[in-house]
């Protein structure tokens, strides 16, 4: 379900972004275009984007919101597979600042998922379903990226202890040193999920993304994909980002203090400042599997192909492996006892 339709300059058919080509392609006449070419052909449409309205469809079953164009009337929810309906319109303030385009297409995402799942030992053989794999859905998920500046002001005490013997006596020398660390550290693109209707641990499992491939937001990249709007403000995710930055700074300080037996922190007046925020969309393939009455949700990183999620456990496979190991161990012990006798 496309979020916005762009027409092929050659034949007028719809065009879509193809991650494998890093270009936009017409499925009808097979013409290919770069982002710059699309922008040139769609200058008026791109100007209209700034004030355009989006439409949010809401799933009645799980409550997920999906951003799409105003021509779509029905589709399935990529979380629970149930139908969704229009709930309200979203204004242009939800326009993202940045985006990392998909580089893994649908077929490659399915391959990556199957490669990952089949490496797990106790997944049921009948778990894999072509019909469910076909519903794998490309979605841009909302993140807040923060550029932070930390003014480090740290004072600690380091203790060195030297022990030696001379004759029958043992001597101990203790020296104390003042440790001072000051400086400015800039940390860019500290990202945090800004969406509550998906398991955060699922998306943490497919991290990281290569932030160097982020581009300024351009609507054509959304063609052929879903896009979620954020439902958490910057203020909601700021404490998480601040905690991660503080942990990172602590690691930097700790790694710079070497050669002491013991180190005590006496004062830490380091201050962190948020310099700039960017509303960023990151690509993921979401797959919902319904197996024996239970719903399993998986994610595949749309940039790297890394997969994550909880797989079903086959007790029969586990018991079979345990039986084989037991039989082999018993045979070895029996043979060993026979040889001893």
Q: Which residues contact 68 (CB under 8 A, 6 or more apart)?
A: 1, 2, 3, 54, 55, 57, 75, 226, 227
Report the half-sphere exposure of 46 (CA within 13 A, side-chain side).
15
pLDDT in tens, 117-147: 888 676 777 677 777 788 888 989 999 999 9
Residue 205 CB coordination number (10 Å): 16
* Spatial CA neighbour of 176 closest among 152, 203, 157: 157
pLDDT at 17: 80
Task: Look at residue 70 in the predicted model and tell me its pLDDT.
Answer: 46
Helix (H, G, I), strand (E, B) or coil at 102: coil
User: What are the tens digits of pLDDT across the range 4-32?
Assistant: 556 677 756 667 788 888 888 876 567 88
| The predicted structure's pLDDT at residue 178 | 97
What is the structure's pLDDT at 239? Answer: 97
Q: Within 10 Å of residue 299's Cβ, how many Cβ atoms?
A: 24
Q: Which residues of the chain have pLDDT under 70?
A: 1-7, 11-14, 27-29, 42-60, 64-93, 120, 122, 126, 313-341
207-231 burial, b at 16+ Cβ within 10 Å, e below that, comes to: eebeeeebeebbbbbbbbbbbbbbe
Q: Please state, in angstroms and rounded to a whole number, the distance separating the CA atoms of residues 9 and 66.
A: 28
pLDDT at 124: 75
Query: CA torsion sign, 20 to 97 to 95 to 231?
Result: positive
């Amino acid at each position: 379900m496309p979020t916005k339709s762009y027409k092929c300059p050659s034949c007028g058919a719809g065009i879509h972004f193809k991650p494998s080509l890093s270009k936009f392609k017409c499925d009808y006449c097979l013409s290919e275009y770069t982002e710059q070419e699309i922008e040139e052909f769609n200058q008026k449409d791109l100007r209209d984007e700034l004030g355009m309205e989006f439409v949010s469809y809401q799933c009645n079953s799980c409550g997920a919101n999906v951003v799409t164009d105003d021509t779509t009337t029905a589709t399935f929810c990529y979380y629970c597979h149930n139908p969704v309906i229009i709930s309200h319109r979203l204004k242009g303030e939800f326009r993202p600042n940045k985006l990392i385009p998909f580089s893994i297409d649908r077929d490659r995402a399915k391959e990556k998922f199957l490669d990952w799942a089949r490496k797990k030992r106790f997944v049921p053989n009948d778990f894999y379903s072509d019909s469910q794999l076909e519903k794998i859905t490309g979605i841009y998920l909302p993140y807040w990226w923060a550029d932070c500046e930390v003014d480090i002001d740290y004072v600690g005490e380091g203790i060195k202890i030297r022990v030696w013997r001379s004759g029958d006596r043992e001597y101990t020398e203790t020296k104390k040193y003042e440790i001072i660390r000051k400086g400015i550290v800039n940390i860019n693109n500290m990202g945090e999920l800004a969406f509550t209707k998906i398991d955060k641990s699922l998306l943490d499992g497919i991290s990281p993304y290569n932030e160097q491939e982020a581009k300024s937001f351009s609507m054509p990249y959304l063609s052929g994909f879903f896009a979620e709007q954020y439902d958490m403000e910057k203020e909601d995710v700021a404490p998480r980002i601040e905690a991660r930055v503080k942990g990172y700074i602590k690691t930097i300080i700790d790694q710079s203090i070497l050669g002491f037996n013991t180190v005590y922190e006496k004062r830490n007046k380091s201050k962190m400042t948020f310099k700039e925020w960017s509303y960023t969309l990151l690509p993921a393939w979401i797959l919902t599997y319904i197996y024996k009455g239970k719903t399993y949700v998986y994610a595949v990183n749309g940039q790297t192909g890394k997969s994550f999620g909880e797989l079903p456990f086959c007790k029969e496979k586990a018991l079979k492996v345990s039986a084989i190991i037991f039989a082999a161990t018993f045979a070895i012990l029996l043979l060993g006892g026979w040889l001893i006798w």
